[in-house]
Amino acid sequence: MTAAADARWMAAALALARRGRGRTGANPNVGCLLVTAGRVVGRGWTQDGGRPHAEAMALAEAGNAARGATAYVTLEPCAHLSPRGPACADTLAAAGIARAVVAMVDPDERTAGQGLARLKAAGIDVSHGLMEAEARRELAGFTGRLATGRAELTLKLALSMDGRLAMADGRSQWITGEPARAYAHALRAEADLVLAGGGTLRADAPHLTARLPGSTAPQPLRAILTAGPVPDGFIALPSLAALDALVAERQLNRILCEGGGGLAATLLAAGRVDRLAILRAPILIGDGIGLEALKPADLSETHGRWRLADSRMLGVDRLELYSPA
Catalytic residues: 55
Distances (CA, A) of 205 to 174, 183, 184, 208, 223: 13, 20, 16, 9, 13
Task: State the Cα angle at 211 between 207 and 216, rounded to 5°.
Answer: 125
Written as one string, the DSSP assignment of 185-249 is HHHHHT-SEEEEEHHHHHHH--------TT--PPPPEEEEE-SS---TT-EEE-SHHHHHHHHHH
Provide the 10 A C-beta neighbour count for residue 203: 18
Q: Do 151 and 192 touch, CB atoms closer than 8 A?
A: yes
The answer to whether residues 189 and 210 touch, using CB atoms and an 8 Å cutoff, is yes
- 3-state class of 147 per DSSP? helix
- Residue 241 class from Cβ within 10 Å (0-12 exposed, 13-18 middle, 19+ buried)? exposed
User: What residues contact residue 194 under an 8 Å CB cut-off, 6+ apart?
Assistant: 188, 208, 220, 221, 222, 223, 255, 256, 257, 258
